[in-house]
Amino acid sequence: MKSLKLPHSLHSSHGGKTLIPFPNRKLALSTGLFTRTITLFSPSILPCGHCDLKEARRMQFSMSSTSASIQPMNEELIGDKSKDLPVSGDSIRRRFLSFYASRGHKVLPSASLVPDDPTVLLTIAGMLQFKPIFLGKVPRQVPRATTAQRCIRTNDVENVGRTARHHTFFEMLGNFSFGDYFKKEAIKWAWELSTIEFGLPANRLWISVYENDDEAFKIWHDEVGVPTERIKRMGEDDNFWTSGVTGPCGPCSEIYYDFHPERGILDTDLGDDTRFIEFYNLVFMQYNKKEDGSLEPLKQRNIDTGLGLERVARILQKVSSNYETDLIYPIIEKTSELANVSYALADDHIKMNLKIIGDHLRAIVYLISDGVFPSNIGRGYVVRRLIRRAVRTGRLLGIKGDGRGNLEGAFLPVIAEKVIELSTHIDVDVKDRSPRILEELKREELRFVQTLERGEKLLDEMLVDALSRAKENGTAPCLSGKDAFLLYDTYGFPVEITKEVAEERGASIDMNGFDIEMENQRRQSQAAHSAVKLDVGNGADLAENVADTEFLGYNSLYAKAVVESLLVNGSPVIQVSEGSDVEVLLNKTPFYAESGGQIGDNGFLYFNDDENQQKAVVEIKDVQKSFGNIYVHKGTIREGVLEVGREVEAAVDPKLRQRAKVHHTATHLLQAALKKVVGQETSQAGSLVAFDRLRFDFNFPRPLLDNELVEIEGLINSWIGAATILQTKVMLLADAKKAGAIAMFGEKYGEQVRVVEVPGVSMELCGGTHVSNTSEIRGFKIISEQGIASGIRRIEAVAGEAFIEYVNARDYHMKNLCTTLKVKAEDVTTRVENLLEELRMARNEVSTLRAKAAEYKASIIASNAFPVGASNKIRQVSASMIRRSRLVLVECMDDTDADSLRSAAEYLVDALQDPAAVVLGSCPGEGKVSLVAAFTPGVVDLGIQAGKFIGPIAKLCGGGGGGRPNFAQAGGRKPENLSSALEKARSELVTILTEKAS
């Protein structure tokens, strides 16, 4: 959905002072530092007149009919809220859902912030979980639904805290119709919710409609009664919603709240966000946009709406921005306490920084709760960036330590505790996951503080260079915008601090260049994250014509089935001949389709002719779910011709299925063992159940110890040996959670779920295939344990037949090793350690000999050193004057290795009298160049540094390097350029030293 617009500010102050008189009905919020009173919205007293309660009640819609009539709106009339309900954010959410539940909508839970959609990085809209239904790819489960969806958007992250409306985390309240009701009901209910349920004054509400949507205009005016002057027709950019270049689309209508009705109705601009706030958006999804740009009516018209919870809370709680509602303000209060500032008394800049932390901590906590951990890629980078922005903002506020006496402690976990406290009505799982959330925040913040310190050192180096360049060029010192952005983006270094430090050193910053770099990043971010892509193509038609596949694979590995459809390169065909790759859709199947981490089954499809002679064989190599619950069998025609409508015999490879079953059950045992050995807070972060191994990713801050791995293996093998019979049952999701069943990471669940239990050990929600008895697993062995991201560990293991193969292979290699070393297995370690020590000593001897050989070569070429900087006349008159000349030695030492070249250079600077400059080069191997520069103190004192000198020389050889002022090494990949590189080194040394002498 397109973004909603909010005013930058209201011309009102804190403490209950408002733009217009309201009754003294107030909600006191404790701030910790001070008590803040929020005046609640009551429409009883308004400049335009008073409310006729009887007339307001007469306007209410019937609760039982979608086509109930509504009386025209009285200009002087406003909605009445005589129920005297509180207007907390939680109550607004609850009342919204109850309102639509009473009108036949199924209340569905918020989807995860990690969407089941490869086209979108994070859940950015309330409609996202219903995308397959809107596309017609899956059948609707209910005709209408309502949700309070958690959303994340980061494309406008730089505006967070600067405006009254921008957030990275927000809640979108929505009501949806899947081919059920349409414009009339959606409009009337939105009006009733706004004016009757929430009591918003009708004469403060403005409407926008698409410029060509006469139907919506008439409903708003003729049936709802909104005056024509308060209905604005707007263009395609504002009021026509599209999912992309092609796909579902349609006009939309928005409801705006007017903060300043006294400004009148002439020349009104709904885009004036000092006056208006858009809080409810109704999308009438009625067309499919084709590739040529034309619109065709959808077979199923849908309603997709979004009401911004934070925005409505701002209106009803009558505060000047979303940040001052009870949804966010307590977080800001906690931040103010740590920063030792008063929000009410703070200037705009400090308020902005407090808002940034209040917003970002909400996003961070809910993302980590949903399994997104800081990393340098994908969703993990979003979390890391938000954490870093919050940390550096805290530093700008002067927050030091955790506020509990530890000045080296992390402050984000302290603020996150307040977010978790407020999460009860948003996501009940956050509190249970709080130990993991707080630990991850602490670790990431403390690590980033070290990064900030490195950024400070880099800034110092940048300023030294900038000041040096300015002195040489006679210009004002200025740090480039690219350098400032590098500090900001890579090291998280605030540009405000960069500017302050630079000014202290007498330099400025190219802010125009910085803004250009920032804008480039913003555009890339928007392109990546701001759109929900929908498409109506062959897939939707296919899903419409093919029923869901009946899965028989829990009880059988064989079934007779009918070919419903054949696809080649994604396009439907009638028949496929031998040698072709094909995707086969069957009406029923014993093949398991990849899900829950378990890969799809392999096997064969057989087709016999009327005389029962085999006519076609299809080898199935993978099975995937698509378009909802349709199984796509991917394979190759090995023999014959396969046609749509034919009956086939579908047979799963039983050996491979057994391998998958063994590894899947072993994965459940592994998770149970991890929780028992290292702590209950560990949880799954991904998995792979394959035929040859299993892979399990889990949240944990450190590598597992050897004794912990041994204990985990021991537990699992003891459970395998106990020969426990597994229990599988289907039950309600709520009942399964109450029973303690663990949900698998990344899986989506309906109301009915399958629960797999190893009694006394493990209980998980899982649709995968499993052994019937743990004894079938036979044995379990961990192959590796390693970190794959910050706070994420990975275990790879084998079980069953793969375990036997692994043990046999290890035994085979051990026997060969014993034969080669001529020792028993138990003596292999000692023998290898002895061999390694012998090898180390031999290498040291070789290295010593090479160094001595290099020094010998150096003693021979030392005589090639020549003086620079003294005239011939002086040399003829005084030998002592010759000794004061600078000696230069630049030579090639053939194939001398890098270490020996270093030894030779060290020998030469000791042998030659100070001042002397030595540059040596060699080609120690094919495609390799080694270079070394060694300068005596007398040369360094002249301002010539070896580290800076050798770099450009190495570039000529296709490499680079550097080092200290007196000694530096470099390398390259172009031996053919070594001669010219050394000649350049010789020439530059002569030139520089001659200039220094004069």
The reply, when asked if residue 766 is annotated as ligand binding, is: yes
Q: Residue 220 and residue 184: Cα distance in Å, rounded?
A: 9
Q: What is the DSSP string of 810-872?
A: HHHHHHHHHHHHTS-GGGHHHHHHHHHHHHHHHHHHHHHHHHHHHHHHHHHHGGG-EEESS-H
Q: Tokens 């919205």 belong to which residue? A: 41
- Amino acid identity of residue 365, one-letter, is V
CA-wise closest residue to 172 among 227, 119, 127? 127
Q: Residue 686 and residue 667: Cα distance in Å, rounded?
A: 11
In three state form, how does the secondary structure of 67-92 look? CCCCCCCCCCCCCCCCCCCCCCHHHH
**DSSP assignment letter at 320:** S
Quick one: tokens of 32? 């910790």
Q: Residue 868 and residue 991: Cα distance in Å, rounded?
A: 9
> Distance of CA 127 to CAs 2, 108, 239, 920, 960, Å?
12, 12, 17, 68, 53
In three state form, how does the secondary structure of 458-516 look? HHHHHHHHHHHHHHHHCCCCEECHHHHHHHHHHHCCCHHHHHHHHHHCCCEECHHHHHH
Quick one: tokens of 453? 């310190």
Q: Residue 777 and residue 975: Cα distance in Å, rounded?
A: 58
Q: What is the DSSP string of 101-115?
A: HTTT-EE-PPPPSS-
- Amino acid identity of residue 262, one-letter, is E
Q: Residue 945 and residue 956: Cα distance in Å, rounded?
A: 19
In sequence order, what are the residues at sequence separation of 6 or more whose Cβ sits closer than 8 angstroms to the Cβ of residue 296? 287, 288, 290
CA-wise closest residue to 705 among 697, 713, 716? 713
Q: Residue 494 and residue 477: Cα distance in Å, rounded?
A: 20
Whether omega for the bond prior to residue 965 falls within 30 degrees of 0, making it cis, is no
532 HSE (CA, 13 A, CB side): 27
**DSSP assignment letter at 25:** -
Q: Residue 651 and residue 602: Cα distance in Å, rounded?
A: 9
Q: What is the DSSP string of 585-646?
A: EESEESPPPSBTTBPPP-EEEEEE-TTS-EEEEEEEEEEEEETTTEEEEEEEEEESEEETT-
Helix (H, G, I), strand (E, B) or coil at 697: strand
Q: What is the CA radius of gyration of the chain?
A: 36
Q: Residue 534 and residue 527: Cα distance in Å, rounded?
A: 15
Spatial contact of 713 and 674, defined as CB atoms under 8 Å apart: no
Spatial contact of 742 and 764, defined as CB atoms under 8 Å apart: yes
Quick one: tokens of 872? 């011939």
> Distance of CA 88 to CAs 93, 225, 270, 797, Å?
9, 30, 27, 50
The reply, when asked if residue 51 is annotated as ligand binding, is: no
- Amino acid identity of residue 633, one-letter, is H
The total of other beta-carbon atoms located within 10 Å of residue 827's CB is 12
Spatial contact of 752 and 765, defined as CB atoms under 8 Å apart: no
Residues in the chain: 998
The total of other beta-carbon atoms located within 10 Å of residue 922's CB is 24
Quick one: tokens of 807? 């043990």
- Torsions phi, psi of 647, nearest 5? -90, 135
Q: Residue 657 and residue 245: Cα distance in Å, rounded?
A: 43
Q: Tokens 């919870």 belong to which residue? A: 309
Residue ranges for the binding site for Zn(2+)? Answer: 664, 668, 766, 770
Residue ranges for the binding site? Answer: 664, 668, 766, 770
